[in-house]
Structure 1
Amino acid sequence: MQIIMIIAIVALMGMVVVSLVRGIIAFLQTTKVDLESNSDKVTELQLKQNRLMASRVKFQALAIVAVAVLLLISNR
């Protein structure tokens, strides 16, 4: 069971990193489009940033829960 939890934690950490990198890329695109003054595209990219930030927070919360479960399992 511990091995499964460790694999889950590593996978969740990878998902956090992926969503963080995708969010940074969306932020950089927003800045570039904002400089070019195309307001419709900026709003779309800002919504994408918000979705990615929310998914990153969810993955981090799941990783914390998985670590807590791993600690509970290992103490028994």
Structure 2
Amino acid sequence: MNTFLVILLIAAMIATVVALVRGVIAFLQNESSQVHGDGPSPSALKSNKMMQARIFFQAIAVLIVVLILFAAGRT
């Protein structure tokens, strides 16, 4: 059970880093393009979506850490 949680934690950490990198890249593309007054650009929307995904994966990683610590305390 503990090994399974560690594997899930590593997967959540990798997903967090991937979402972070994709969000930063989309943000940099947004900064390099010209800003128009027509609302958010597609790259700004993608950056926002990736940062929301990062927060989601980060929360999952924290919950898995809590589960691992809880399981370790019970043994």
Give the TM-score, by structure 1 length: 0.87
**Aligned residue for 1:20?**
20
**Aligned residue for 2:41?**
43
1:22, 1:65 → 2: CA distance?
A: 23
Unaligned runs of 5+ residues in structure 2 are none
Supply the RMSD in Å over aligned alpha carbons: 1.5
Instruction: Give 1:39 shift.
Output: 6.3
More helix by share: 1
- From 38, 56, 61, give the equivalent of 1:63: 61
Q: How many residues align?
A: 73
Unaligned runs of 5+ residues in structure 1 are none
Instruction: Give 1:43 shift.
Output: 1.2
